[in-house]
Structure 1
Amino acid sequence: MISYDREYYKPKTIQEAVELYDTLDSKGKAPIFFNGGTEIITLGRLNLISANAFIDIKHIPECKVYEMADGHLNIGSSLPLSMFDEKQDFPLLSQLAKGVADATSRNKITIGGNMCGNIFYREAILPFLLADSMVYLAARDGMKKRPILEVFHQEMLLEKGEFLVQISTPAKYLNMPFASVKRRQQWDTGYPLLTVASIKKGDMLRFAFSGLCSFPFRSHEMEEVLNDRNKSYRDRILSSFSELPAPVLNDIEGSSDYRLFVLKNILLDFFALLEGDV
């Protein structure tokens, strides 16, 4: 059980949610926006969340959108990951979403909740980092549209009172050649050791990683090295490790050395698939 009193609200509009946040914040309630809620419930049971007011945004229509419009796929932040088993417009997203937790959990975990959470993995964000996606954020001064690569740096850098409404991805990225793989050290639905995703845009490969460092990321510095055709695939991969943005995780799922060993072999497979034989 969550061991503290809490208030729960279900606004029906973006404006209501934003105003509700300000009202609760002014009363010292330390409100937080609530989407899928699986992580909040887990952390709450461990007394790791100080909020005593939750604002559930799942009932806001704009957060439940799934549509192709004006050359973009718009995905509401409150859609469950299980939906992408059925929706195959963005195959890379569908493949990565299917690997998160188990089928029952994916009915509850939302795409926005996964992207904005605090756990290391947050695999659902990887396709959007690769595809130059934009995010729509609700804020006091209205809706903001910003490139995801500006908003996400180790975590979603939301201002106080903001929440994620939609993610918009240009249609040209949806069916580009791609590869993705998740490696686990333990059971099929346990936490991953490593998740890697790549798309091929023209003759350049883009890469995004989860489980390698303590946050998901796409590194332009690593991509520059990995696309250096003056080097062999193995040399590119080994050289790219010097461009990692943070120390490699070393935990119960796997040592840092083991993670790098697994990553090297994953990247060799990606090069073979997307560029040709090693």
Structure 2
Amino acid sequence: MIQFDFEYYRPRSAQEAVKLFQSLEREGKKPAYCSGGTEHLTPGRLNVIHTNAVIDIKDIPECKTLQFERRHLALGSALTLKEVTENGGFPLLSKAVREVADHTARNKITLGGNICGQIFYREAVLPFLLTDSKVVTIGDEGEKRYLIHDVFDQQLKLNKGEILISLLIEERYLHQPFASIKVRQQWDTGYPLATISALEIDGRVRCAFSGVCPFPFRSTEVESALNDESLPVVQRVDEAISRFPGPVLDDAQGSAEYRKFVIKHTLFDILDMLKKGPL
């Protein structure tokens, strides 16, 4: 149970939501946006977050978009992971989020909620990092579009009161060879030891990682090692692991050494899958 009371608001447009956020702030409230709600439930129960005004954006039309525009697929931040998976317009994303939590939770968890959530795995962001996607937001300065690499560094860094509206994926990326593997120590729905998503573009492999460090990431240094064809595959993978942007996690899910073992063999599988085609 959440141990604090809060006011609940349900604006009809993104612009209305932004104005509401600003108004509540002026009143001394601590407003927070929510879509699926799951991004607030667990942290709220643990008293990790505290808000006294919740602005629900899940029914805002701009946040529910799922369409092609100007050779880009636009995916609204309030789409549930189930909706994203069933649409199938972005196969790598469908694969990457298909095993997030369980089926019931995926009916509630939204794309934006996963990417912006407090739980550090944020697997849904991996395909967007791999495809150099654009992020569409709205704030007190109106609508903005960013390259995802300019606003995502360990987490999505938006201005206070700014809403993630949608993400745009260039059409040419949607059906490139890909692979995505989630490895758990046990069970089918527990937290993962690691999730690795990969995409092959023009003969080069791109890789993004979740559950490896305490933040999701894509690293050009890691990719440089994986694509160094002057080295045997085993050495390429070892070199890639040595270039991770932070220490490998050592927690209740698995020790750092065990994680490195899992990551190494998962990368072998990823490279093999890309040779054989999508899986």
CA distance in 1, matches of 2:272, 2:100: 26
Q: Once the 2 structures are TM-superposed, how far is the Cα of residue 60 of structure 1 from its aligned partner? A: 1.0
What do the CA deviations read for 1:20-65 (whole angstroms, capped 9, x no partner)? 1011111111111111111201111222212111111112100000
CA distance in 2, matches of 1:170, 1:48: 36
CA distance in 2, matches of 1:37, 1:97: 17
| Counterpart residue number, 2:256 | 256
| Counterpart residue number, 1:58 | 58
Q: TM-score w.r.t. structure 1 length?
A: 0.97
Q: 1:63-212 to 2 correspondence within 5 Å?
A: 63-212=63-212
**Structure 1: runs of 5 or more not aligned:** none
Q: Does 1:35 align with 2:55?
A: no
CA distance in 2, matches of 1:43, 1:269: 34
Shifted more, 236-245 versus 152-161: the winner is 236-245
Q: Once the 2 structures are TM-superposed, how far is the Cα of residue 93 of structure 1 from its aligned partner? A: 0.6
What do the CA deviations read for 1:91-125 (whole angstroms, capped 9, x no partner)? 11111111101110000000000000121211111
What do the CA deviations read for 1:167-209 (whole angstroms, capped 9, x no partner)? 0000100000001101001210111111001000011100000
| Counterpart residue number, 1:227 | 227
- Paired AA for residue 210 in structure 1: S
Secondary structure of 2:200's aligned partner: strand
Q: 1:17-32 to 2 correspondence within 5 Å?
A: 17-32=17-32
CA distance in 2, matches of 1:245, 1:118: 20
Secondary structure of 1:125's aligned partner: helix
Q: Once the 2 structures are TM-superposed, how far is the Cα of residue 68 of structure 1 from its aligned partner? A: 1.2
Secondary structure of 1:181's aligned partner: strand
Secondary structure of 2:217's aligned partner: coil
Q: Once the 2 structures are TM-superposed, how far is the Cα of residue 275 of structure 1 from its aligned partner? A: 4.0
Q: Once the 2 structures are TM-superposed, how far is the Cα of residue 150 of structure 1 from its aligned partner? A: 1.0
What do the CA deviations read for 1:65-99 (whole angstroms, capped 9, x no partner)? 00012111000000000113321111111111111
Q: Does 1:240 align with 2:240?
A: yes
CA distance in 1, matches of 2:90, 2:100: 16
CA distance in 1, matches of 2:272, 2:42: 40
Structural RMSD (CA):
1.0
Moved over 3 A (4+): none
- Paired AA for residue 246 in structure 2: A
Q: Once the 2 structures are TM-superposed, how far is the Cα of residue 164 of structure 1 from its aligned partner? A: 0.3
Secondary structure of 2:236's aligned partner: helix
| Counterpart residue number, 2:265 | 265
CA distance in 2, matches of 1:266, 1:81: 24
CA distance in 2, matches of 1:46, 1:191: 17
Q: TM-score w.r.t. structure 2 length?
A: 0.97
Secondary structure of 2:213's aligned partner: coil
Shifted more, 266-275 versus 79-88: the winner is 266-275
Q: Once the 2 structures are TM-superposed, how far is the Cα of residue 3 of structure 1 from its aligned partner? A: 1.6
- Paired AA for residue 203 in structure 1: G
The number of residues matched between the two structures is 276
Secondary structure of 1:49's aligned partner: coil
- Paired AA for residue 90 in structure 1: F
Q: Once the 2 structures are TM-superposed, how far is the Cα of residue 4 of structure 1 from its aligned partner? A: 1.5
